[in-house]
């Protein structure tokens, strides 16, 4: 069993986020799913990003760190889109990370430290034409991470949906989400 700290995307802690966490739990993993928005959810990514900016991205990263400080260090950190910020920060700056899962985002490793921590495996998942991933430089950061890390994989799925795994959003792509879930479960199983 892996223990996962999973951070939600900019639309908040949606029913789809709860469903994804439940799927991981149903497969024997412990999942912590904190609410970085204090119960608020948003109809669009833009509205959620506006809210995140009003809070401050640094504050959101610190909220994630505060949650992690209450948990063991041997966690798998995972994040959807905006949630990659606290997840990636923790894996690069908090000792003991077991693994990392990035969904629809990836930041340059230089954002949090000089290099990727040795021995920390990572999977990065996105659709191949997601403008939030492709047009913002995230895909280049992901490719650079795959080159740098000892154990890193980049998975690109058909289409251009951003939050394609969240079943409660119109951007949901059931076929791609099912494939992603299988990859994630295999990744977590090998970290048991």
**Using N-to-C axis directions, what is the helix angle for 57-68 and 84-93, rounded to 10°?**
60
| Predicted local confidence at residue 115, as pLDDT | 85
Question: For the residues 115-127, what does the mean pLDDT come to?
Answer: 95
Question: For the residues 167-186, what does the mean pLDDT come to?
Answer: 98
| Predicted local confidence at residue 137, as pLDDT | 96
Please identify which residue in the block is written with the tokens 């990370």.
97
For residues 191 and 51, give the distance between their C-alpha atoms in angstroms, rounded to a whole number. Answer: 35
- Residue 121 structure tokens: 């495996």
Q: pLDDT tens across 137-152, in order?
A: 999 999 999 999 999 9
Q: Which helix (H) or strand (E) holds 155?
A: strand 152-157
| Predicted local confidence at residue 55, as pLDDT | 93
For residues 137 and 123, give the distance between their C-alpha atoms in angstroms, rounded to a whole number. Answer: 17
Q: Is the pLDDT of residue 192 over 90?
A: no
Whole-model pTM: value is: 0.96
CATH architecture of 3-190: 3-Layer(aba) Sandwich (3.40)
Lowest mean pLDDT among 8-22, 102-116, 124-138: 102-116
For residues 11 and 104, give the distance between their C-alpha atoms in angstroms, rounded to a whole number. Answer: 13
For residues 156 and 94, give the distance between their C-alpha atoms in angstroms, rounded to a whole number. Answer: 28
| Predicted local confidence at residue 107, as pLDDT | 96
Q: pLDDT tens across 67-118, in order?
A: 999 999 999 999 999 999 999 999 999 999 999 999 999 999 999 877 899 9
Alpha helices in 94-173 (DSSP H): 131-134, 138-148
Give how far Cα 102 sits from Cα of 43, 85, 133, 134, 189, Å: 22, 9, 11, 14, 17
Question: For the residues 29-58, what does the mean pLDDT come to?
Answer: 95
Residues with Cβ within 8 Å of 94's Cβ and at least 6 positions away in sequence, in order, are: 65, 68, 73
Percent of the chain with pLDDT over 70: 100
| Predicted local confidence at residue 114, as pLDDT | 74
Question: For the residues 125-131, what does the mean pLDDT come to?
Answer: 97
Question: For the residues 56-62, what does the mean pLDDT come to?
Answer: 94
CB-side neighbour CA atoms (13 Å) of 158: 6
- Residue 53 structure tokens: 């900016």
């Amino acid at each position: 069993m892996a223990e996962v700290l999973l951070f939600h995307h900019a639309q908040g802690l949606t029913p789809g986020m709860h469903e994804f966490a439940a799927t991981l739990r149903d497969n024997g993993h412990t999942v912590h799913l904190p609410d970085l928005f204090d119960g608020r959810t948003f109809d669009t990514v833009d509205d959620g990003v506006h809210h995140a900016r009003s809070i401050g991205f640094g504050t959101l990263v610190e909220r994630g760190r505060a949650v992690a400080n209450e948990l063991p260090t041997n966690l798998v950190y995972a994040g959807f889109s905006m949630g990659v910020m606290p997840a990636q920060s923790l894996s690069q700056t908090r000792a003991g990370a077991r693994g990392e899962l990035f969904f629809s985002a990836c930041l340059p490793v230089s954002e949090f430290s000089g290099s990727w921590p040795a021995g920390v495996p990572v999977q990065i998942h996105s659709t191949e034409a997601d403008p939030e991933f492709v047009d913002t430089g995230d895909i280049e950061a992901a490719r650079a991470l795959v080159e740098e890390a000892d154990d890193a994989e980049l998975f690109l799925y058909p289409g251009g949906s951003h939050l394609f795994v969240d079943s409660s959003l119109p951007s949901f792509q059931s076929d791609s989400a099912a494939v992603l879930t299988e990859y994630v479960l295999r990744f977590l199983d090998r970290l048991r």
